A = this chain, B = another copy of it.
Amino acid sequence: MTARATDQEVCIDLGDRSYPIVIGEGLLARIAEFDLPKGHAALIVTNTTVGPLYAGALAQALASRYPQVHVLELPDGEQHKNWDSLNLIFDALLGRGSDRKTVLFALGGGVVGDITGFAAACYMRGVPFVQLPTTLLAQVDSSVGGKTAINHPLGKNMIGAFYQPQLVLCDLDTLATLPEREMSAGLAEVIKYGPIFDLDFLDWVQAHLPALRARDPQALAHAVRRSCQIKAEVVGQDERESGLRAILNFGHTFGHAIEAGLGYGEWLHGEAVGCGMVMALQLSLEMGGVDAAFVERCTRLIADAGLPTRGPALGADRYLELMRLDKKSEAGEIRFVLIDPPGRAVVRPAPDAVVRGVIARCC
């Protein structure tokens, strides 16, 4: 692999499923210099928003490495993270007679990455794939760690696989074209790593929030690298979420309920996570894990990142119903990721009455 001196690398250490995450500028144009999976053909899966910006140049760059390079554009948005989109990938592959030596490239945000990863996991029972995340959220979270999935009308990410990519390239240049709202959504997952794992990083994010929102390349590079480092450490210890890994779901229990309750695509995933973190912090306060000052501080940071801090008024019953479908639930008991103490997260049930109080206060 040829890397520039300014490129940074984080390794996800999973034995024979290990892979590097490279963070740097101009990576998409330099992709042919990296250690790509061998294959007869490459299929770039992207969406109708990102495709027109980057797919052409990427296809050109890959042409020196694969005899055939094709591009498939999926419709954009969380509401399309479903079987129909997944099947568009299978149709594109089978329509061209693509064999097991076909490499998938996921060029886009979390939705493209999750669908493409799942398609790679299932097509002929598994073909190699590369993540090329173009949103901050995908760079700091969803493209790293091998969780792939599609949504079911009754729940988010309910159908999927643990399937690791062979390489992740986080091209910081792609963040320049990211809409403001998407930027804020990504910051939600950056902020997340502080309360659950690293209070120094929480301080750093707080101090550098203006620089991050102004897309200062150095600040972004640090935020992406440190986020990936933390995620790599957690995933390396618990690839299939039998324990520790669940802490990465901080804010996601409430967040997924918001997304499903409003209909996928209404709020961005990161927006729902931002608001979900506020609710999970309130619940942590009620359960004695944090004090009011910490909740206040984090809530302000989430608001300053441009994220919603008040949940939609779905009603407590609906929230509880949706959260009982959460993948961490067991025998109908919802298990929340709570902060206790700041810098550490635990997975724990909470009394319904307390949860209802939090929903009433936050929505």
Q: Which of A239-295 contact B (CB under 8 A)?
A: 240-241
- Cβ of B125 and Cβ of A155 under 8 Å apart? no
A207 at the interface (CB under 8 A from B): no
Q: Mark A335-348, 1 if CB is under 8 A from B, else 0.
A: 00000000000000
Question: A90–B159 Cα gap in the complex (Å)?
Answer: 8
Copies in the complex: 2
Question: A325–B149 Cα gap in the complex (Å)?
Answer: 26
Question: A313–B146 Cα gap in the complex (Å)?
Answer: 45
Q: From the candidates B101, B123, B162, name the one contacting A331 in the complex (CB within 8 A).
A: B101
- Cβ of A122 and Cβ of B160 under 8 Å apart? yes
- Cβ of B40 and Cβ of A330 under 8 Å apart? yes
A97 at the interface (CB under 8 A from B): yes
- Cβ of B154 and Cβ of A94 under 8 Å apart? yes
Of listed A90, A99, A123, A329, residue having the most chain B CB within 10 A: A99
Closest to A146 in B: B125
Please indicate the chain B residues that have their CB under 8 angstroms from the CB of A147 in the complex.
125
Q: Which of A151-179 contact B (CB under 8 A)?
A: 152, 154-155, 157-162
Q: From the candidates B87, B123, B152, B162, name the one contacting A90 in the complex (CB within 8 A).
A: B152
Q: Mark A136-153, 1 if CB is under 8 A from B, else 0.
A: 000000000001010010
A357 at the interface (CB under 8 A from B): no
Question: A260–B228 Cα gap in the complex (Å)?
Answer: 45
Please indicate the chain B residues that have their CB under 8 angstroms from the CB of A124 in the complex.
158, 160, 327
Question: A320–B99 Cα gap in the complex (Å)?
Answer: 15
Please indicate the chain B residues that have their CB under 8 angstroms from the CB of A158 in the complex.
90, 94, 123-124
Q: From the candidates B125, B154, B331, name the one contacting A161 in the complex (CB within 8 A).
A: B125
Closest to A327 in B: B124
Q: Mark A81-99, 1 if CB is under 8 A from B, else 0.
A: 0010001001100110101
Q: From the candidates B87, B162, B329, B331, name the one contacting A125 in the complex (CB within 8 A).
A: B162
User: Shortest Cβ distance from A238 into chain B, in angstroms?
Assistant: 13
A324 at the interface (CB under 8 A from B): yes
- Cβ of A94 and Cβ of B324 under 8 Å apart? no
A126 at the interface (CB under 8 A from B): yes
User: Shortest Cβ distance from A116 into chain B, in angstroms?
Assistant: 14
- Cβ of B40 and Cβ of A97 under 8 Å apart? no
A300 at the interface (CB under 8 A from B): no
A100 at the interface (CB under 8 A from B): yes
Please indicate the chain B residues that have their CB under 8 angstroms from the CB of A91 in the complex.
154
Closest to A118 in B: B122
Please indicate the chain B residues that have their CB under 8 angstroms from the CB of A210 in the complex.
none
Q: From the candidates B123, B152, B161, B241, name the one contacting A94 in the complex (CB within 8 A).
A: B152
User: Shortest Cβ distance from A151 into chain B, in angstroms?
Assistant: 11
A220 at the interface (CB under 8 A from B): no
Of listed A83, A90, A332, residue having the most chain B CB within 10 A: A90
Closest to A329 in B: B99
**Cross-chain pairs A/B with CB under 8 angstroms, 7 sampled:** A40-B330, A90-B152, A94-B152, A94-B325, A97-B324, A123-B159, A124-B158
State the 4 A-B residue pairs at the shortest beta-carbon distance, nearest first.
Answer: A94-B154, A40-B331, A124-B327, A125-B160
14 other A-B residue contacts (CB within 8 Å) besides A94-B325, A122-B161, A161-B161: A94-B158, A95-B154, A97-B324, A99-B329, A99-B331, A99-B332, A122-B122, A122-B160, A124-B158, A125-B161, A125-B162, A125-B240, A125-B241, A126-B240
